[in-house]
Chain A
Amino acid sequence: MKAINKNVCACQNPEIGGEAESPTHKNNSPIGYFLKGLAGIIIWFVIYRQLAPLAGYLTRNIPGLPPGSHAAEAIQFFLYDTPKVLMLLILVVYGVGIIRTFFTPEKTRRILAGRREAVGNVLAALLGIVTPFCSCSAVPLFIGFVTAGVPLGVTFSFLIAAPMVNEIALVLLYGLLGWKVAALYLVTGLLIAIIAGWIIGRLGMENHIVDWVRAMRTTAEGGPEETLTWPDRFHHGWEAVKEIVGKVWLYVIAGIAVGAAIHGYVPEGFMAAIMGKDAWWSVPAAVLIGVPMYSNAAGIIPVIHALLEKGAALGTVLAFMMSVIALSLPEMVILRKVLMPRLIGVFIGVVAGGILLVGYLFNLII
Chain B
Amino acid sequence: MINIKICGPGCASCTKTEEIVRQAVADSEVNAIIEKITDFADIAQLGVLSTPAVLINDRIKCVGKIPTQDEVNNWLKYM
Q: Do A and B bind each other?
A: yes
Q: Which residues of A pack against B, CB within 8 Å?
A: 23-24, 104-106, 109, 132-134, 136-137, 139-141, 143-145, 147, 212-213, 216, 218-219, 221-224, 337-338
A141 adjacent to B41 (CB under 8 Å): no
Binary flags per residue of B4-18, CB closer than 8 Å to A gives 1, else 0: 000101010000000
A106 adjacent to B44 (CB under 8 Å): no
Known: A218-B45, A218-B47. A140 touches B61 (CB 8 A): no
Q: Judge whether B43 is part of the interface by a CB distance below 8 angstroms.
A: yes
B63 adjacent to A23 (CB under 8 Å): no
State which of A141, A222, A337 has its C-beta within 8 Å of the C-beta of B50.
A141
Binary flags per residue of B50-74, CB closer than 8 Å to A gives 1, else 0: 1100000001111110001011001
Known: A23-B74, A137-B64. A105 touches B49 (CB 8 A): yes
Chain A residues within 8 Å of B63, by CB: 104-106, 223
Known: A218-B45, A224-B60. A105 touches B40 (CB 8 A): no
Known: A137-B49, A218-B47. A337 touches B60 (CB 8 A): no
Known: A23-B70, A23-B71, A109-B49. A337 touches B44 (CB 8 A): no
Closest to B10 in A: A136
A105 adjacent to B44 (CB under 8 Å): no
8 extra interchain contacts, Cβ-Cβ under 8 A, other than A219-B47, A223-B63? Answer: A104-B64, A139-B40, A140-B50, A143-B41, A143-B44, A144-B47, A218-B44, A224-B62
The 9 closest A-B pairs by CB, nearest first: A143-B44, A222-B47, A105-B49, A137-B50, A144-B49, A139-B40, A137-B51, A140-B43, A136-B11
Closest to A137 in B: B50
